[in-house]
Amino acid sequence: MAKELYEMTVVEAVNHNKDEKNVNELLSSLSKRAEKVNPKVKAYLNWKTEASEFDGKTSKDGKSLWGVPISIKDNICTHGWETSCSSKILKGYIPPYDATVVNKLKNEGAFIFAKCNMDEFAFGSSCESSADFPTLNPWDLERVPGGSSGGSASSVASDEAIVALGSDTGGSIRQPASFCGVVGLKPTYGRVSRYGLIAFGSSLDQIGPLTKNVEDNARIMNVIAGYDPKDSTSANVEVPDYTQTLTKNVEGLRIGIPKEYFIDGLDPEVEAAVREATAMYEKLGAKVKEISLPHTKYAVSVYYIVATAEASSNLARFDGVQYGYRHPSKDLVEMYMNTRSQGFGEEVKRRVLLGTFVLSAGYYDAYYLKAQKVRTLIKKDFDEAFKEVDVIISPTAPTTAFKLNEKKEDPLSMYLSDIYTIPSNLAGVPSISIPCGYDSKGLPIGLQLIGNYFDEATLFRAGYNYEQTMHWNDKKPSI
C-alpha cells in the first residue's frame, strides 16, 4: 500500500516537495489527517489549512527544509499567531516576533503548521495541566502522552505532524517521546537558542525536535542549532553536519550503564527492554561497562528547587498589566492577586509558591544556594563519567504511559516520572530518547542515550545504528 503523504518523514517530505503544488498536496493531506485524528488525541491547539506563511514562489535552491510543515509547542513564539503556553493567563497573546528557531526554520523554507498543546507553562509530565484540554496518547486513548511536550509527541506519533518542536526543562521532550514511541532530543544547554521560548527554568530549558526517526532529528538540528547573538547563554561552538556521521558504525563505542538508575520503581518490562537494547549495542561492537553517577539521588530535589525558583521569577511578568488575562479589579493589588490566582492553574501556582519560598530572605542559603552546590556535584558526576565512556544508557522514564488522572492528585509521584531525565538538564548534557520496544500492553518504551557536552553527533550515530537494526518505529498506533 502506498504511503499517505501525511505519513512522510522530513527526509521524504523534502524529496516530495518539487514545487508549490506538492507542498499544497502535502499540507492538504496533513490538514485532513489532523481533522480526523486531532479530535481523538487533541495534540493541537490549532493548525493551518493553508500555507499562509509559506511562499511557494521562493527558490528551493539550497534550502534544506523547503515546504516542510512544522508543528510547534505553544511556548515557542510565533509572530502573529497566538502563543499561550496552554495557559488561561496568556489567552489571546499574539507575539510580535518569531523565536530564533522559528526564524531559522523559515529561512530554510519550512513553515509553521500547528501549535501543540502542552502542560501549562511546561509544568508537568502528562499534559493534563493544560488549561485547554488534556492531550491523549495515540497508543491508548485512556493514557497520557507524557509531558510537558505531550502535544508535540502525540502529533508526531499519530501522523498529524511530519515533525514537531518541543522544549525540555527536566525531561519534557524525552519523556513524552518515550511514551509516544517517537525520537526526541534535548540538546546540550546552549546548543539551540532560547530566544522566543517562553522561559520556565532559564538555566535548564532547551528546545529540541520530536521526530519519526533519528535522521529527521539530525536534519532539524542542523537547522536550529547554533550560536544566537540574541541569547547570551547560547554557545559559540561550531555545529557539525549531524547527518554526516549517522551511518558510521558503533564499533568500539564506550557505553556506560549507571548503577544508580536501576532502582525500585523501575518497571521490570522497561528494565528488560533497556537491558536488551544494551545487549544489542554489545552485539554491534560497542563496549558496555557499569559506571556510577553517585549524586543521582539528589537530582529530583535539586531540580525542584532550581527550576521552581527560576520559574517563580520568570512567571512574575504575567501580572495583567501589559498583555494576556486581566481580572477586572478596583485597584492595583487586587488586580495582581486576582489576575494571577484566576489566570494560573493549580500546578503553576504550586511551583510559583515553591520557587518564591526557596528564594525568600532567610531561606535562600538553605535551599537555593545549597541546591546550586549539589548541582555542581551532579555536573562533576557526568564529567567523571565521560572520561570513561562516550554514551550513557538508561531508561527514559521508569514506566510506560500511565493512565489519565492516575498521578494528577499525587504531584510527588508525577515528579518522579522525570527521575532519569532531570540529571541531564541539571548538568547541561545532551540526551535523546529513542523507541526500544513495547510492553505487554503494547505501549512504547523509550531508551535514553546521554552524551557529552556538544556531542549530539555521537547520540545520533548511536541512535541511528540501533534504530536501523531494530526498526521499532515501523509499528504505528492504530487510530
Q: What residues make contact with another protein under the rule CB under 8 A?
A: 75-77, 83, 85, 90, 93, 95-97, 99, 194-199, 201-203, 229-233, 309-310, 312-313, 316-319, 321-323, 332, 336, 356, 359-361, 364, 368
Residue 137 — left, alpha, or beta (φ > 0 → left; ψ -120 to 50 → alpha)? Answer: beta
Q: Which is nearer to another protein, 93 or 464 (CB)?
A: 93
Contact 222, 328 (CB under 8 A): no
Rounded distance between C-alpha atoms, residue 321 and residue 394, angstroms: 45
CB of 2 to another protein, least distance (A): 41
Tell me whether residue 203 is one of the annotated catalytic residues: no
Tell me whether residue 172 is one of the annotated catalytic residues: yes
Dihedral, CA of residue 69, residue 67, residue 464 and residue 224, to nearest 10: -80
Rounded distance between C-alpha atoms, residue 155 and residue 242, angstroms: 24
Q: Which is nearer to another protein, 132 or 439 (CB)?
A: 132
Transcribe 6-42 into DSSP letters: GG--HHHHHHH-SSHHHHHHHHHHHHHHHHHHHHHH-
| The pairing of beta strand 206-211 with beta strand 183-186 | antiparallel
CB of 51 to another protein, least distance (A): 24
Q: Which is nearer to another protein, 83 or 421 (CB)?
A: 83
Q: Could you report how far apart the first and last alpha carbons of the chain are, in Å?
A: 17
CB of 272 to another protein, least distance (A): 39
CB of 430 to another protein, least distance (A): 19
CB of 415 to another protein, least distance (A): 21
Catalytic residue among 42, 73, 115, 186: 73
CB of 204 to another protein, least distance (A): 9
What are the grid coordinates assigned to 108, written together? 530554510
Q: How many C-beta neighbours within 10 Å does residue 18 have? A: 11
> What is the tally of helices (H) and strands (E) in the chain?
14, 11
Rounded distance between C-alpha atoms, residue 198 and residue 85, angstroms: 8
Q: Which is nearer to another protein, 279 or 316 (CB)?
A: 316
Q: Which is nearer to another protein, 262 or 336 (CB)?
A: 336
CB of 231 to another protein, least distance (A): 5
Catalytic residue among 148, 178, 417, 424: 148
Nearest to 418 by CA among 206, 265, 290, 190: 265
Rounded distance between C-alpha atoms, residue 32 and residue 394, angstroms: 38
Rounded distance between C-alpha atoms, residue 205 and residue 474, angstroms: 31
Q: Which is nearer to another protein, 185 or 235 (CB)?
A: 235
Tell me whether residue 73 is one of the annotated catalytic residues: yes
For residue 308, give the 3-state DSSP assignment: helix
The residue type found at 251 is: E
Q: Which is nearer to another protein, 30 or 309 (CB)?
A: 309
**DSSP single-letter state for residue 368:** I
Which residues are part of the catalytic machinery?
Answer: 73, 148, 172
